[in-house]
A = this chain, B = another copy of it.
Amino acid sequence: MLKEKNGDVAPIRAAVANEDGIDFTLIELFFFAYRDFTSDPDQMLADYGFGRAHHRVLHFVNRRPGLTVAELLDVLKITKQSLARVLKQLIDTDHIVQLQGPRDRRQRELYPTARGRELALALSRPQSRRIDGALTEMEGGSRKAIEQFLKAMVNPELRAQIDADPLHRMEENQE
């Protein structure tokens, strides 16, 4: 009696529709969109022996130079052990440098090097092009609407942090 087959294995032949109050269409599109969105940088990263995690670290270090390790862990929401290898590789390959924190010398401030900046830009370029293209193709919507939608998809706690972030507050001024 290894498997607990309860016997009720009658096939359901009807497709789930967007009935049941569930928007399967958007759920599915969100999956496809994100998968293709990450595919361009993923391919480039392979040339460096890097993975998606390296991209994320590189992204946030470029967005917020001087980030401490603890702060980086907090935005990525991964553990110190998960970050360790990835960060070490980026440091060993001169994409990121660590500086001792000026106030608290236990802290390590993370900065991109010129190489790290270039790679971050190169990885983001196809993603930004894809977004720009999609914004153009879209009718009856604006970049602002997309930004609001995506921000509203984020958990409230993080959303509060994003709103407090000057990098995102600047958005209010641009169109």
**Residues of A that sit less than 8 Å from B by CB:** 3, 5-6, 8-18, 20-37, 39, 56, 59, 62-66, 77, 92-94, 97, 99, 111-117, 120-121, 124-125, 127-128, 130-135, 137-155, 158, 162, 167-168, 170-171, 174
Contact = CB atoms under 8 A, between A and B. Distances in A.
Contacts of A22: 121, 124-125, 128
A81 to B, nearest CB: 19
A17 to B, nearest CB: 8
Residue of A17, A59, A153 most packed against chain B (CB within 10 A): A153
B147 A26 contact: yes
Contact of A12 (B117, B144, B151): B117
12 contacts: A3-B93, A10-B97, A10-B114, A12-B117, A14-B65, A17-B170, A24-B124, A27-B59, A29-B162, A135-B149, A137-B152, A141-B144
